[in-house]
Amino acid sequence: MKLNNYKWLILIILVMAFILRIIGIGYAYPLALVSDELPTLNASLKMLGTQSFIITAKGYYYTPLLVYLYLPFLIFFILFGLITGIFANIAQLKEIVLLSPGVFIPLARFISVLFGTMTVFLIYQICQKMFYNKKISLLAAFF
């Protein structure tokens, strides 16, 4: 199956968007965090700890969508860590969460990278539906 030029261009734009976002994933880590990273991560981890879908983290004043988006990725990361031996057992995992939750910050930033890259494709699709012009859609996705 041969891709036409427009499909190649959107693919190149998406790869560029992903690379530009992934380069900045380690910005100021571990010295400085963005103000919503740690509270959102803590709220997600608390939901996993209490096995509840209700956000019970004190002082969490952000919208809950991001907390729910973190959950599948955190569950996968924790299961992967338990299977591969990164975390010896649940007790060690709880200790890491309590003493240094910053271990999970690169994962949280990677989730932002994925959704940011998907936003570029969403802009392309929206422009495609609005203008019926692939050149305008590619231009919008690029900028």
pLDDT tens digits for 49-85? Answer: 888 888 877 777 888 888 999 999 999 998 998 899 8
Q: Report which of 127, 135, 78 is spatially closest to residue 107, judged by C-alpha positions.
A: 78
What is the Cα–Cα distance from 74 to 66, expressed in whole angstroms?
Answer: 12
What is the Cα–Cα distance from 30 to 54, expressed in whole angstroms?
Answer: 29
Q: Report which of 83, 129, 95, 106 is spatially closest to residue 26, judged by C-alpha positions.
A: 106
What is the Cα–Cα distance from 63 to 40, expressed in whole angstroms?
Answer: 9
What's CA 122's distance to the chain center, in Å? 16
Average pLDDT over residues 116-132: 94
pLDDT in tens, 92-114: 888 888 888 778 888 888 999 99
What is the Cα–Cα distance from 138 to 57, expressed in whole angstroms?
Answer: 41
Average pLDDT over residues 129-142: 90
What is the Cα–Cα distance from 46 to 56, expressed in whole angstroms?
Answer: 7
